[in-house]
Structure 1
Amino acid sequence: MTMTDMRRRAPATERNREPIAELLRAVLPDRGTVLEIASGTGEHGVHFARAFPGLLWQPSDPDPDALASIRAWRIEAGLPNLTDPVHLDAASERWPIDSAEAIVCINMVHISPWAATAGLMAGAQRVLSPGAPLVLYGPYRRLGVPTAASNEAFDASLRARNPDWGLRQVEDVTAEAEGRGLRFERLFEMPANNLTIVFRRG
């Protein structure tokens, strides 16, 4: 199998990468390291590293096949600011990264046990400097806001695959973040019934 053959593809990435990049332009710093948690296929990392040449983009994932895909996309892209991916389990108390100027986490919170979200907040508290952003993207529930039928169906399919997965309440995620010294800054409505939530390290 060639390195190119190891590249995975996620159709949703092509649809959401530019709306996410547009939002990131208003949130990310001009310089420094961005740690991407649960980088998946690696397609987002290539797009964002290309969109933000002043930032060092550090992808990560706990899955060996995902790491192979990320590495293959990185080699194919040849971008100087896209680093080799690292093995990182968000739920772990030890991360391979000591510091970052921002953390971006796309579509992890609903496809992982709650321990991963709790670990993400604890890790962000350790790694981010005061004022640095943690950016979450994906489908969420909100108190008092009807959930789209497509998201309800998605939630049911996730829970059928793993009862520890499923759409989370924005309010629960925010409470977990605030318990780790991260303050809620803003929530953005995104295409396809997704949300982006921005927290800042206190």
Structure 2
Amino acid sequence: MAYLEEAKGAKRHAPAALRNREPILGILKQELPEWGLVLELASGSGEHALYFAEHMRGLEWQPSDPDPQALASIAAYHADYNGEGGGVNLRKPLQLDAASPNWPVERADAILCINMVHISPWEATAGLFRGAAQILSGKNLPLVLYGPYFEQQVEPAPSNLQFDASLRARDPRWGIRDAEKVDTLASEHGFTRSARYEMPANNLMLVYRTA
């Protein structure tokens, strides 16, 4: 995800976050539990975590990212929210690489991952489901993915084909994934896809749940 420098300190701004946050929030209100801890992987600028924490105050939000600049941006938004904003349900960010076998989180009630699967090696998605299986310890707990996907029997949007080509040109390990391949990976770790939502700009939200 591309960031634009903000005038204030370490904060970064992701234009896509402003465009898609309301549609994503609408689905999260349907799919996430009313209470508990939500772990967000690849939080990027931190704007999503801030927005969702503001609008779902019954949930505690744990943002994370492997990138130091992203972590600094998240921490800056966290400081404002927990200071001037009066919020208490947004935690400080954790450095977490989805591909790592050891996550700095012992348990969660839900996991959210926005725009990571196509901008990372496949090993990161495999690590995402492996780690999620370890920390989502209850039944019917959600793992929610957002981003572009290719699907069998669905004609791909030309913009997604172009985007996929540009991603692979930047890094051959990146690219839009086949939803069915993600489903297979999910099942290997005890997850079943429970919902599919069409989102703006030819994106999808895929919801997987523990058995």
- With the shorter chain as reference, the TM-score category is over 0.9
Unaligned runs of 5+ in 1: none
Runs of 4+ in 1 over 2 A off after TM superposition: none
- Residue type of the partner of 1:195? L
8 Å CA contact retained: 1:4, 1:76: no
CA contact (8 A) 1:58 1:82 kept: yes
* One-letter amino acid of the structure 2 residue matched with residue 94 of structure 1: N
Contact 1:3/1:72, CA 8 A, preserved across alignment: no
What does residue range 35-54 of structure 1 map to in structure 2 within 5 Å?
35-54=39-58
Name the CA distance, whole Å, in 1 between partners of 2:50 and 2:8: 14
* Counterpart position of 2:59: 55
Write the letter of the residue equivalent to 1:29.
P
DSSP-derived class of the 1:26 partner: helix
In the TM superposition, what is the alpha-carbon distance from 1:138 to its structure 2 partner?
Answer: 0.3
Residue 147 of structure 1 deviates from its aligned partner by 1.0
Identity of aligned residues (%): 55
Structure 2 residue runs without a partner (length 5+): 1-5
Distance in 1, matches of 2:155 and 2:11, equals 37
Matched, 1:22 2:26: yes
Q: TM-score, normalised by structure 1?
A: 0.97
Aligned equivalents of 2:142, 2:19: Cα separation in 1? 24
Letter in 2 for 1:91: A
Does 2:111 correspond to 1:107? no
Match of 1:69 among 70, 73, 76: 73
**For 2:149, what is the secondary structure of its paired residue?**
coil
C-alpha deviation, 1:3, in angstroms: 9.8
* Cα 1:105–1:155 shift into 2, 3 Å: same
Is 1:124 aligned to residue 132 of structure 2? yes
Q: Which residue of 2 aligns with 1:156?
A: 165
- Number of residues of Structure 1 aligned to a counterpart in Structure 2: 201
Q: Which amino acid aligns with 1:149?
A: P
C-alpha deviations, 1:4-61, integer Å up to 9, x for none?
3211111011110000000000000011100000000000000000010000000000
RMSD (CA atoms): 1.2
Q: 2: distance between equivalents of 1:72 and 1:4?
A: 9
TM-score where L is the length of structure 2 = 0.93
